[in-house]
Amino acid sequence: MAAHSQIEAITARIVERSKPRREAYLDRVRSAISRGPHRAVLSCGNLAHGFAACSPSDKRDLAGDVVPNLGIITAYNDMLSAHQPYETFPAIIREAAKEAGGVAQVAGGVPAMCDGVTQGQPGMELSLFSRDAIAMAAGIGLSHNMFDAVVFLGICDKIVPGLAIAALTFGHLPAVFIPAGPMTSGLPNDEKSRIRQLYAEGKVGRAELLEAESKSYHGPGTCTFYGTANSNQMLMEIMGFHMPGASFVNPGTPLREALTKEAAKRALAITALGNEFTPAGEMIDERSIVNGVVGLHATGGSTNHTLHLVSMARAAGIHLTWQDISELSDIVPLLARVYPNGLADVNHFHAAGGMGFLIRQLLKAGLLHDDVRTVYGHGLDAYTVEARLDTAGGIVRQPSPEESGDPKVLARIEAPFQSNGGLKMLTGNLGKAVIKISAVKPERHVIEAPAIVFHDQQELQDAFKRGDLNRDFVAVMRFQGPKANGMPELHRLTPPLGVLQDRGYKVALVTDGRMSGASGKVPAAIHVTPEASDGGAIARIMDGDMIRLDAAKGTLEVLVHAAELAARTPATADLMQNEFGMGRELFAIFRQNAGTADNGASVFA
């Protein structure tokens, strides 16, 4: 089925806007392809170093350029529950490669930050920049030029975006992303949040809070809310980087291991040495990117992807804008209610039909491009399936059901939860911003209230504890942008603002910083651009100014006459304490060179 006319029009607009950059990118990819297979260009010395530690049979295989060599880029560490299962994946991949007549080598590791551990801590100020550092680290591994394809082991927030930037930078190579899956369901996310609000009000102690948190985050696998990490899995599947049905299968299960082996074998099958060559730079095009944005809206995905998807697209020579994202939001309905957009978690989403059902519904309405390339072949229709184990331990794929396994979690396209998607762009005299409305009650989509200005999360938490915030107000949290302090997530503001909202006050947040993908219930205009440290009008707001946030109209305004606003001296902030400690001194060059949020807040041109 042809895509919806507006989907086609927005895609055509992106193609046109990207043309010069995309053509130059594809020229580079094709030039690199023409020089492959890549080990052939290495000297004997280079090659000897490249396989010195290999077995004699692997050395024989790698000495020539007939046997494909699979590079593994791994983000394994024990810090992220989502990445801990990767410890055993290289051995599984090597075994699968041998079975497939190939070789596999770990090309390199990349760092991976857990935003849950650093939330509200100084380390969070490295989080966004870690995305580009991950892309650079992956590039170091792949620069050995020993590989015919790559598998990427990464899941969480900045890791998949960073690895995708690397995959597209090395677009002459096929790239398959291998997920490890969500942890099994623990304490429901809404119950965890309720106990957090009780703690914020001083009604329960740390012991009760830690018990609730530990019951929620209790084992290996991705946290089960629909934040950035699980938005990443959705994106990798709907953009064709995953094997069909791979995203949300729990770690440590036979099906998970079978999917890992299958992905490794598939990566070896789509190299230039075979007859299904699928280089990542040609596989991902403007249609794949639009499919990603559509999936984001249909699932109420993370606001962080208004930064990451823009950066990922640019790595493939594609210029995606917030306007594109916002207009797609107007035509893509919300089909999933997964926390914070509902009470279910990703295990429930998967059990209700998961990605296969979602893709089938969106294809049915022409809201996805079906005519795309994927690691699995041609056509997104191949992803309207569920992966199962057959009696021999192999993988069999069955068509996804026509009916949702739980209509409260996954809706049919004929009866969506909301007629439009989750992410809107706001414009006005404060510049641009984004807001996630899929988790905000409709009666809170328009907020007009006096500003209270803060330069630090702790200031707001202290004011809350003093009882100074029991009123209607818009919290203006500024000097939180990429140039100021690395654009941290301000998710610790959710419990106090949530308490005040539940007490019946009209509250909202306006910030040049970020929120977690797991944030949601409080209306928040985030990623305000230009940021306060870059001449943004947000630095001219004063306590008491009326702020109007209107997600319906897509506007964000400070209700002060233009002449008066222009005449004001912009506020400044003492950012000295953000330049040292917890490694922040190592990222000064990132703060100095970070681009604007609407361009992904990246250090890459």
Ligand X SMILES: O=C(O)[C@H](O)[C@@H](O)[C@H](O)[C@H](O)COP(=O)(O)O
Binding-site annotation, residues for [4Fe-4S] cluster: 156, 223
Report how many residues bind ligand SF4 under the rule CB under 6 A. Answer: 12
Question: Rounded distance, CA 421 to CA 533, Å?
Answer: 31
Residue of 178, 187, 198, 193 lying closest to 224 (CA atoms): 187
- Residue from 169, 224, 302, 461 in contact with ligand X (CB under 6 A): 302
**Contact of residue 84 among ligand X, ligand SF4, none (CB under 5-8 Å per partner type):** none
Instruction: Please give the backbone phi and psi of residue 529, each rounded to the nearest 5 degrees, phi first.
Output: -130, 130
* Inter-residue contact 68 to 149 (CB < 8 Å): yes
Is 301 among the residues that bind ligand X (CB under 6 A)?
no
Q: Does 304 bind ligand X (CB under 6 A)?
A: yes
CB closer to ligand X, 94 vs 527: 527
C-alpha 439: how far from chain center:
17
Instruction: Pick one of ligand X, ligand SF4, none as the site partner of residue 422 (Cβ within 5 to 8 A by kind).
Output: none
Distance of closest approach, residue 121 Cβ to ligand SF4, in angstroms: 13
385-389/377-378 β-pairing: unpaired
Residue 81 interacting partner from ligand SF4, ligand X, none (CB closer than 5 to 8 Å by kind) = ligand SF4
Coil/strand/helix, residue 396: strand
Residue ranges in 35-78 assigned as alpha helix (H):
44-51, 56-63
Residues facing 514 on adjacent strands: 489
* Cis ω before 37 (30° cut-off from 0): yes
DSSP string, 531-556: -GGGT-GGGG--TT-EEEEETTTTEE
Residue type, 592: Q
**Binding window for ligand X (CB under 6 A); candidates: 61-69, 159-167, 170-178, 511-519:** 511-519
302 binds, among ligand SF4, ligand X, none (CB under 5 to 8 A by kind): ligand X
**Of 171, 159, 153, which Cα lies nearest the Cα of 242?**
153
Kindly state the number of chain residues that form the binding site for ligand X, as judged by CB under 6 A: 14
Q: For residue 254, what are its two tokens? A: 């036979």
Q: Is 156 in the site for ligand SF4 (CB under 6 A)?
A: yes
400/516 with CB nearer ligand X: 516
Quote the least distance from Cβ 227 to ligand X, whole Å. 2
Query: Does residue 119 bind ligand X (CB under 6 A)?
Result: yes
Binding ligand SF4 (rule: CB under 6 A), the pick from 93, 142, 223, 359 is 223
Residue with tokens 């230009």: 530
Contact 508, 446 (CB under 8 A): no
> 248 or 417: whose CB is closer to ligand SF4?
248
**Helix, strand or coil for residue 88?**
helix
Of residues 114, 115, 116, 97, the one with CA closest to residue 106: 97
Minimum distance between the CB of residue 361 and ligand SF4, rounded to whole angstroms? 26
Q: Does 222 bind ligand SF4 (CB under 6 A)?
A: yes
227 interacts with ligand X by CB under 6 A: yes
Is residue 303 a contact residue for ligand SF4 (CB under 6 A)?
Answer: no
Q: Which residues fall in the annotated binding site?
A: 156, 223
State how far Cα 398 lies from the chain centre.
Answer: 28
The residue number whose beta carbon is nearest to ligand SF4 equals 116
Interface residues toward ligand SF4, by CB under 6 A:
80-82, 114-116, 156-157, 222-223, 227, 229
Interface residues toward ligand X, by CB under 6 A:
115-116, 119, 157, 227-229, 302, 304, 489, 491, 516-518
